[in-house]
Chain A
């Protein structure tokens, strides 16, 4: 198969092809070709956050990622003819993210907040220009992402950002506490407790 010309896709106001959008949610799908040494390096890198979950704290700082995944593709399953038997000379890094916000802002934040992380994940990929400044990195990701517009993308809570979900989870404990006691309180006591709940949960409302 010969190299394929990158199709020119229309973009939404968030700088994202429309197929990659569902409400507030945006999909990124990216492939990059990994140098041979990445075959040994990436599994080690993937293991670190599992042994030291606090290293995922940096990802949590980017409070707009719902789910993300990295996979190293070293082979494709054989399903019989007419599928061509493809032997991959090098691994290929698959990356997908489900996030909210603008594409440009997402890559900017990725570049600055996860500078070392980006170098670790994509440093073994051909053509990786470095995470900072973000311009060349954006072009690098965009070249692949624009080729992979989703034909269908679904979010179960398309209008909820990660921040809203996390705030709602934090409020849940406060609401549950008052809910348990609500029936036992006089209306005046309840009003005072309700005001206290709002004061405690103010930043989550």
Chain B
């Protein structure tokens, strides 16, 4: 559109995004930002860190969840404390907590269902170190995470309408196009057309 004025379709998308974002602060376009902070059993923080280090050393369990853009587990020892600017009666947590945060495609409940189905073993081991989850019941982890969810105030995505699958597809397509741009000088027009159809012919 000239002068950067959004067209009717862009305005409709923007309006729909605004309504969705106000209705659910955890959404940005089709993406969902989930955060849960769960209490760790007394004396279990080091064992949990060791377990997460083991998980971190191998292929990420989140790679088995194709809707996950980003995810993290962080052990939280306490709030920001001990600084000269902090109030004298600053808050303390009282026990260690585990932060779980994920940015993913689609709605929360179906994602948590996928999570508890696909990485049941890891969740069972991890949340066995936390207070309040039924042990040996990975499906209970979904209920537990929702119970401990912290809503977003503001959730930002640089490409809110693009799924993980779409990101991977367009990035692979860009790589193929770059390669073909270099190779074209050694190809006849027939070969170039054939390679384009072969490598970039499927959406």
Q: Does A112 contact B (CB under 8 A)?
A: no
> Given contacts A82-B42, A160-B171, is CB(A127)–CB(B83) below 8 Å?
yes
**Docked pose: A2 CA to B94 CA in angstroms:** 9
What's the Cα separation between A126 and B18 when bound, in Å?
31
Contact of A171 among B60, B132, B170, B184 (CB under 8 A): B170
Q: Which of B72, B75, B131 has the most CB of A within 10 A?
A: B72
- Are the C-beta atoms of B201 and A190 separated by less than 8 Å? no
Cross-interface CB contact of A67 among B14, B33, B83, B131, cutoff 8 Å: B33
List which B39-92 residues lie within 8 A (CB) of chain A: 39, 41-42, 48-49, 52-53, 55-56, 60, 62-63, 66, 68-87, 89-92
Would you call A205 and B158 a contact (CB within 8 A)? no
Q: How far is the CB of B153 from chain A (nearest CB, A)?
A: 4
Interface of B is mostly: mixed
B contact residues vs A (CB 8 Å cutoff):
14, 17-18, 21-22, 25, 28, 31, 33, 35, 37-39, 41-42, 48-49, 52-53, 55-56, 60, 62-63, 66, 68-87, 89-95, 97, 99, 101, 103, 130-133, 144, 147-148, 150-159, 162, 164, 167-168, 170-171, 173-174, 177-178, 181, 184, 188-190, 192-193, 196-197, 200-201, 203
Interface SS of A by simple majority: mixed
Say how far A191's CB is from chain B's closest CB, in angstroms.
4
Total interface residues in chain A, CB < 8 Å: 92
* Residue A10 at the chain B interface, CB threshold 8 Å: no
Q: A31-B80, A94-B150 are in contact. Are A157 and B56 (CB under 8 A)?
A: no
Contact B156 A59 (CB under 8 A): yes
- Is A72 a contact of B41 with CB atoms below 8 Å? no
Given known contacts A77-B147, A127-B86, A182-B193, A157 and B168 CB-to-CB distance under 8 angstroms: yes
Q: Complex Cα distance A175/B81, Å?
A: 53
9 residue pairs bridging A and B, Cβ less than 8 Å apart: A59-B156, A69-B33, A70-B152, A71-B152, A151-B48, A152-B60, A155-B69, A156-B70, A168-B167
* A37 CB contacts on chain B under 8 angstroms: none
A40 within 8 A of partner (CB)? no
Q: Is B158 touching A187 in the complex (CB atoms < 8 A)?
A: no
CB distance from A117 to the nearest CB of B (A): 11
A83 touches B95 (CB 8 A): yes
Give the complex CA separation of A108 and B56 in angstroms.
29
Point out the residues of chain B lying under 8 angstroms from A176, CB to CB. 203
Question: Are B190 and A154 interface neighbours, CB within 8 A?
Answer: no
Q: Is the CB of B79 within 8 A of A31?
A: yes
Encode A1-13 as 1/0 by CB contact (under 8 A) with B: 1111100000000
Contacting pair A165 B153 (CB below 8 A):
no
Chain A residues in contact with chain B, CB under 8 A? 1-5, 19, 22, 25, 27, 29, 31-33, 42-43, 45-47, 49-51, 53, 56, 59-60, 63, 65-73, 76-77, 79-84, 86, 88-90, 92, 94, 96, 98, 126-127, 143-144, 147-157, 160, 162, 164-169, 171-172, 175-176, 178-179, 182-183, 185, 187-188, 190-191, 194, 198, 201, 204-205
Given known contacts A1-B78, A46-B25, what 9 new A-B pairs fall within 8 Å (CB)? A1-B93, A32-B80, A50-B22, A53-B17, A67-B33, A76-B97, A89-B87, A154-B68, A169-B162
